[in-house]
Chain A
Amino acid sequence: MTAEAPGALDLGKLFAARLHAARVRPYLATALFALRPVESREVPTMGVDRYWRCYVSPAFVDRTPVAELAAVWVHEVAHLLRDHHGRSDRYAREHRLTGPGERLRMNIAADCEINDDVYGEGLARPEDCVTPHRLGLSEGELMEDYLRQFRLGPGLERLAWLDCGSGADGLDRGWELGPDGAHGLSEQERDAIRFRVAQGIRGAPGSAPQGWRRWAEEVFHPPQPWRQLLGSALRSAVSGPGAGEDYHYGRPARRSAGLPRVVLPSLRRRPPRVCVVVDTSGSVSDAELGSALLEVAAICRAVGGRRDLVSVLSCDAAARTVQPLCRTEGIELVGGGGTDLRTGFARALRTRPDVVVVLTDGQTPWPEARPACRTVVGLFPRAGGSYDENDPGYRPDVPPAWARVVTIGSAAGRGMR
C-alpha cells in the first residue's frame, strides 16, 4: 500500500488522516469510509465528484500535516452529505446562472456553509479556508443564503484556485471519472449512506454540533416553504364540501334535457367565505403580519373567494371590528396588548365563515371545542417560548389538534435536498 516512488500518493498518510477524522467525528465514519480515494495530478488539493470518489493530489498530501488532511476529509465528505452538487444545479436552474465563475461562487458558498462549524474539537482549521467571516457575512446560514449575498470581485481572486470538484458545485471536471467510471456509487447507495449518517446523528444528538443536527433532521424531510404549505392548507379548506365548486342537486343539470326521468346534479360555484383573525398583540411584529396577511388574501382570491367574502378581524385581548377586505391595501390593524384568541374566534364565527384563518404567535388560550368550520392556523414560531416572571412554570397552550397548523417564516427558501 505504501508508495516509494517520488511524487507518488502517500496513501499511508492519507489513511492515517481519515482514521483520525473518523475518530474525532464518529458519526461521519460511515460516510468517510465510503469515499473512494483516486490519485489525480490535476486537482489542486482534494476534490469529490457526485459519485463519492475523492480525487487527491499527491503533492498536496505531501505538504499537508495529518491533522489538517483529516479536516479536509471531513470538509469534502460534508459537501457530499449536504448534497451541494444537487443544490447547486437547482440554484443554477432557478436563477439561470451559467459559466465557471458562477460555479466557483457556489463552491465558495458551499464552503461557507460547511466551514463555520466543522472545525475545532480535534480538527485543525486549515489556514486558508473560506469562512463567512472572511467574506464579511454572518455565520450559520445555508449555501443558498450566502449565494445571494456576495459576488466575485477584488479580494476574492485569491480564492480562484479553490476547487472541491463537481461534488461541491455540480460542474463536471475533466479529470473526473464520470458516471460510468470505476467505484462510483449509485443514487440509492448514496441515499443509504446519507440516511445512515443522519440516523446516527439523531440517535446520539449530544456529540454532533448544531449544524449537523439540523442537517440530520431535515435531510430526508426538508421543511417546505411556508407559502406552499399555507396555500395548500387554505385551498383544501376552502374547496371542501359546502364551498367552492362542486355538484349540487339544488338545480337541474344541463344534461337533464336529454335524459328525462333522471335526476342529475349540476355543477355550482359557491365562493367560500373566509374570515382571517389576526393576532395584533404586542408579540407579533408588523413585518411578519403584513407578509402573511397579503399571502392569505392572494390565496383566497385565487381560489375564487370574491374579495367581499374575505374579511379580516384584528384581535388582542378583545376582538375588534370585522373589516371586509375590499381594498388590496390599507387593512387597518389595531391592538397591541395581550392576547385572547377565544374572543376572536367567537367574533369570527358570527360572520358564518367556511374557513377561519388565524395568524398568531400561539401565545394565547385556544377555544375548548372545535368550531363549526375548518380552521387553518398560521403560526409565527417563537424560540424559547414565552416567560412570565410571576409564573416561571407557565407554558402557552399549543394550537389544538383540530386545526391545520402551518409554521410561518421558518425555513423559507430552504432546501437541504
Chain B
Amino acid sequence: MPSCPSDTLPAGRPDAPQLAVAGALLTLLRDTTTEPRADIQLEALTLAVAADLPVLLWGEPGIGKTAALTQLATALDLPLTTVIASVHEPSDFSGLPVVGDDPAVQGVPMAPPDWAVRLVRAGRGLLFLDELSTAPPAVQAALLRLVLERRIGALRLPPGVRIVAAANPRSSAADGWELSPPLANRFVHLQWAHDHDVVVRGLGGTWPRATLPALDPERLPEAVAFARRVVCEFLVARPGLVHRLPNGESRRGGAWPSPRSWEATLRLIAFATAAGSSRDVLSLLVRGTVGDGPGLELLASLDRMDLPDPEMLLADPAGAGLPERGDLRQAVLDGVVAAVRRRPERARWDAAWALLVRAMETGAPDVVVVPATTLASLRREDWAVPAAIEQLAGAVSLSRRADEAARRAARTTGARR
C-alpha cells in the first residue's frame, strides 16, 4: 500500500469533516509492510488443507486464526467463507424444513442457507467454521455432519470446497465442549499459538509474509512410495499402535491412532514430501493426526530411515559419509557392528574397522569406544588384528581414562553411601 500522500491529508483545513480526518488516520494505520518469514504453523495448515483433510485449529480467542485463514485462502486462490457457528441455529446447517403443497407426494425439502448455495455454485472455496466450541450442542451436532459428510440440508459441498474449523481449548471454553473419540479421530488437530516477536513486529508495522509450500509435480510418485514405505514399515514393527483408543482424562478430545488416522498420516507425509517441507512441519502434522506418542515414534523411525544403510557403508568404507551428530553417528556405528555380527566374515570385519577409524578421525572419539569394544569381541581365531587398530589408540586411552575415573568414583561414592 502506498504511503498516504500529504495532499490528501485534510490537516491544513480546520473545516474538514471529522469523518474524513478519521478516514485519513485509518489509512495511515493500515499502511503496513510485510517481510518473508518461515511460519511452520501456517505451512502445516496449508498442507493439511491441500490434502483435503478436515483441520481443527485449537487456539485462544483473538490469536490470529482468522488472519491466518485469510492468508491461506490467498495462497490457495480460494474464496473464503467464514461462518461463526455460535450465532447460528441448528437448522441453518441441517436445512430449514419448508412444507410444500403436498408433503405426502413431494416430501419436505431441507432448504440450505444462502452462503452454502453460493459455495456450491462457485464449486470451490475455503469454508471456515469459527467458534465451534461455543455453539450449543445441537448446533455442533449439525455442524459435524457438515464437516464429516459435507452435507448442508439438501446440498452436498463439491470436492473443491475445503473446510477448516476452529475451537477454543477445553480449559478456556465456556461451554466445555469436547470431541468424542470418533470425531477427534477424523480431524487433523493443530495447536495455534501466537509468536510474541511476530505480534510485536506486526504492530510496529511489519507483518510476516509466509512463503507457502508448493507441490512439486515431478516428485509425486516418489512421495507416494516414500509415504507408504514409512507408514507400513513402522506399523509392521509396532502393531500395537495401529489402533489405540485414548485412555485417561487428560488425553480426551485429542488425536489418537486408528487405521483411519494412519491413512490420513500417509497422505500428509506424501504431501509434505512432495512439497519438500521440513521435519518440523511434518512433526506438527503427524502428531496432530495420530497423537503425540505414536507421532513421535513414527518420526523417530523416520530419522532412523535417514541414516545410511550399514551394508552400503561396509561395501565402501572409504567413501562413507557419517552423520555429524554424535548420537546418530553412534546409532550408525552400532548398526554396522550388528551387521557384522549377523554375517561375520573377514572382509566385513576389516571394513568395519576402517569405518571406525574414519569415525575417529572425523568426530568425537568417545562415540567410537563402545562399537570398537563390541567389534573386537567378534574376532575369530584365524583373523589377524588389522593394522587400522593402531589408529584407534586414542579411543583406547580415552576408554582407559574413563575406567580409571569410574574406579575412583566408585570408591568415593561407595564410601559416602
Question: Could you tell me which A residues sit within 8 Å of B by CB distance?
Answer: 1-2, 11-13, 15-20, 22-24, 29-37, 65-67, 70, 119-125, 183, 185-189, 191-193, 195-196, 199, 220-221, 223-224, 228-229, 231-236, 238-241, 244-247, 253, 255, 259, 261-265, 267, 303, 404-407
Contacts and interface: CB of A to CB of B under 8 A. Distances in A.
B409 A19 contact: no
A24 B403 CA distance: 11
B250 A229 contact: yes
Interface residues of B, number: 62
A236 B366 contact: no
A186 B279 contact: yes
B300 A15 contact: no
B398 A186 contact: no
A232 B137 contact: no
Interface string B81-109: 00000000111000011110000000000
Nearest to B97: A262
Contacts of B237: none
Given A193-B327, A232-B178, A406-B249, A12 B296 contact: no
A66 B402 contact: yes
A224 B364 contact: no
23 contacts: A12-B397, A16-B401, A24-B409, A33-B364, A33-B367, A35-B326, A67-B405, A124-B412, A188-B282, A193-B327, A195-B300, A228-B170, A229-B250, A236-B177, A236-B178, A239-B137, A239-B175, A240-B137, A244-B137, A245-B136, A245-B175, A264-B89, A264-B91
B325 interface: yes
Interface in B155-206: 170-171, 173, 175-178
Contacts of A199: 297
A30 B326 CA distance: 8
Task: Choose among A24, A255, A405 the residue with the greatest number of B CB atoms under 10 Å from its CB.
Answer: A24
B391 to A, nearest CB: 12
A192 B303 contact: yes
A253 B176 CA distance: 25
A207 B236 CA distance: 29
Given A220-B293, A235-B175, A240-B137, 6 more contacts: A70-B402, A122-B410, A124-B413, A229-B249, A244-B137, A267-B89
B89 A16 contact: no
Contact of A16 (B90, B177, B292, B405): B405
B45 interface: no
Given A23-B402, A67-B409, A221 B250 contact: yes
Contacts of A125: 413, 416
B89 A405 contact: no
A405 B247 CA distance: 11
Contacts of B96: 259, 262, 264
B409 A221 contact: no
B327 A34 contact: yes
Contacts of B280: 186-188
Contacts of B293: 220-221
Contact of A188 (B89, B91, B283, B329): B283
A259 B409 CA distance: 86
A37 B325 CA distance: 11
A223 B248 CA distance: 10
Interface in B28-71: none
A188 B99 contact: no
Interface in B277-297: 278-280, 282-283, 292-293, 296-297
Contact of B366 (A18, A235, A255): A18
Nearest to B292: A220
B326 A23 contact: no
B404 interface: yes
Contacts of A229: 249-250
A70 B401 CA distance: 12
B163 to A, nearest CB: 23
A191 B283 contact: yes
A66 B137 contact: no
Contacts of A246: 136-138
B251 interface: yes
Contact of B405 (A36, A65, A120, A188): A65
Contact of B327 (A30, A183, A234): A30
A261 B249 contact: no
A88 to B, nearest CB: 15
Contacts of A16: 366, 398-399, 401-402, 405
B299 interface: yes
B292 A239 contact: no
A120 B417 contact: yes
A29 to B, nearest CB: 8
Given A35-B326, A67-B408, A188-B283, A17 B402 contact: yes
Interface string B322-351: 001111111000000000000000000000
A221 to B, nearest CB: 7
B305 interface: no
Interface string B379-417: 000000000000000100111011011101110110011
Nearest to B408: A67
A253 B410 CA distance: 80
Given A1-B365, A66-B401, A186-B280, A24 B406 contact: yes
B227 to A, nearest CB: 18
Rank and list the top 4 A-B pairs by shortest CB-CB distance, nearest first. A235-B176, A33-B326, A16-B401, A66-B405
A220 to B, nearest CB: 5
A247 B93 CA distance: 14
A335 to B, nearest CB: 27
A231 B176 contact: yes
Contacts of B410: 122
Contacts of A36: 325-326
Given A235-B176, A246-B137, A262-B97, A120 B408 contact: no
B405 A15 contact: no
A337 B167 CA distance: 46
A317 B151 CA distance: 54
Nearest to A225: B171
A69 B250 CA distance: 40
Nearest to A33: B326
B369 interface: yes
Nearest to A247: B138
B250 A223 contact: yes
A310 B98 CA distance: 42
A37 B326 CA distance: 11
Nearest to B175: A239
Contacts of A263: 97
Contacts of A20: 402, 405-406, 409
Contacts of A193: 327
A261 B103 CA distance: 11
A19 B279 contact: no
Contact of B251 (A221, A264, A265): A221
B364 to A, nearest CB: 6
Nearest to B369: A19
A262 B99 contact: yes
A247 B89 contact: yes
Task: Choose among A186, A236, A239, A246 the residue with the greatest number of B CB atoms under 10 Å from its CB.
Answer: A236
A278 to B, nearest CB: 20
A189 B89 CA distance: 46
A230 B99 CA distance: 46
Nearest to A52: B325
